[in-house]
């Protein structure tokens, strides 16, 4: 890993040096309007000398679903992409918490609004992303004046880059108003999600979250936490429409996502949530999630893909 970027990325079927992965500036714009991506994490465990990619298959399955919805034809299967990611992590010597981002984009056709071709290009890049799990991080949030896009406008269930402009507007508004995070309502006025993260709340010991028809991403982290809460912690789960004012009277509220991990919210629209600190359910889930993603807790081994760093050679044959 260079001081500013990794040594390699994967691009259209082959691993290339970072400096050699270039396109003409005019390729920017329309080719990325329909681009889709995944955000995947690999967690480093210093005790085992190994990194584990979390729920890799599920992320790649969602990438292929996203490609299908935006009419991009996949050229590589899950097996090929899995091996590409693991080799990339080994060759970039990612011995730290790492973010992995595959991006599929339109590689042919007119550079205009109308007309398209299904030919896809795809690159995979890695970068360090330290975890904030168990750090005590708490954020302040506001309900945004912007509404979440809906399935009949720009389907939010997939990770289309264009969808993120919606969350970006809400995030900028929140930051300019002195908050850390935004919460978007859907067009029906029910709670949807935050920019780049789903939302969960605790009321009377139950874990409540908007269901997947409420203009939210079909989140893998959300699915993970619901399973852990139900199966390992014995919590009652409610997936349903959530009113805005339920946030204000909740015992606990937190965001969740690959980048967000579990991020407790201490205040929403100047209403304190509980005592303003992570509550007991949030803390229990955070500890369990932390231990499972790092392989400290042996449960859910099928969710962890070892990278092979414990036995990997630091350089590739033929490299200087």
Alpha helices in 113-243 (DSSP H): 164-176, 220-231
Give the integer Cα–Cα distance in Å for 59 and 26: 30
159 labelled catalytic: yes
Q: How far apart are CA 253 and CA 84, in angstroms?
A: 37
Are 242 and 200 contacting, i.e. CB atoms less than 8 angstroms apart? no
Coil/strand/helix, residue 100? strand
Can you say whether the dihedral through the CA atoms of 272, 277, 279, 283 is positive or negative? positive
What six digits make up the tokens of 84?
Answer: 């590409």
| Rounded distance between C-alpha atoms, residue 39 and residue 51, angstroms | 16
Nearest to 6 by CA among 128, 147, 97: 128
CB 266 within 8 A of CB 255: no
Burial of 236 (0-12, 13-18, 19+ CB in 10 A): exposed
- Between the alpha carbon of residue 291 and those of residues 111, 167, 301, the distances in Å are 47, 30, 11
Tell me which of 111, 137, 159, 206 is the catalytic residue: 159
Active site residues: 159
């Amino acid at each position: 890993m260079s001081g500013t970027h990794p040594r390699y990325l994967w691009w259209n079927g082959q691993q290339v040096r970072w400096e050699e992965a270039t396109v003409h500036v005019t390729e920017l714009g329309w080719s990325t309007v329909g681009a889709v991506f995944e955000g995947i994490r690999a967690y480093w465990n210093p005790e085992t000398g190994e990194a584990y990619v979390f729920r890799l298959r599920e992320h790649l399955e969602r990438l292929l679903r996203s490609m299908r919805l935006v009419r991009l034809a996949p050229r590589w299967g899950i097996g090929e992409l899995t091996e590409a990611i693991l080799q990339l992590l080994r060759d970039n010597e990612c011995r730290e918490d790492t973010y992995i981002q595959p991006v599929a984009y339109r590689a042919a056709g007119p550079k205009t609004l109308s007309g398209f071709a299904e030919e896809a290009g795809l690159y995979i890049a890695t970068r360090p992303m330290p975890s904030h799990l168990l750090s005590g991080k708490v954020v302040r949030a506001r309900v945004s004046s912007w509404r979440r896009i809906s399935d009949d406008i720009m389907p939010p269930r997939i990770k289309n880059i264009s969808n993120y402009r919606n969350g970006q507007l809400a995030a900028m508004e929140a930051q300019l108003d002195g908050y850390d995070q935004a919460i978007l309502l859907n067009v029906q006025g029910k709670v949807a999600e935050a920019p780049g993260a789903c939302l969960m709340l605790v009321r009377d010991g139950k874990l409540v979250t908007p269901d997947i028809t409420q203009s939210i991403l079909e989140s893998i982290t959300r699915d993970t936490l619901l399973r852990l809460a139900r199966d390992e912690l014995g919590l009652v789960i409610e997936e349903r429409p959530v009113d805005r004012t339920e946030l204000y009277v909740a015992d606990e509220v937190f965001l969740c996502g690959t980048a967000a991990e579990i991020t407790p919210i201490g205040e929403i629209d100047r209403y304190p949530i509980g005592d303003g600190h992570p509550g007991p359910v949030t803390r229990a889930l955070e500890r369990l999630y932390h231990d499972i993603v790092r392989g400290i807790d042996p449960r859910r081994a099928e969710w962890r893909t070892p990278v092979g760093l414990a036995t990997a050679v630091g350089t590739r044959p033929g490299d200087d």
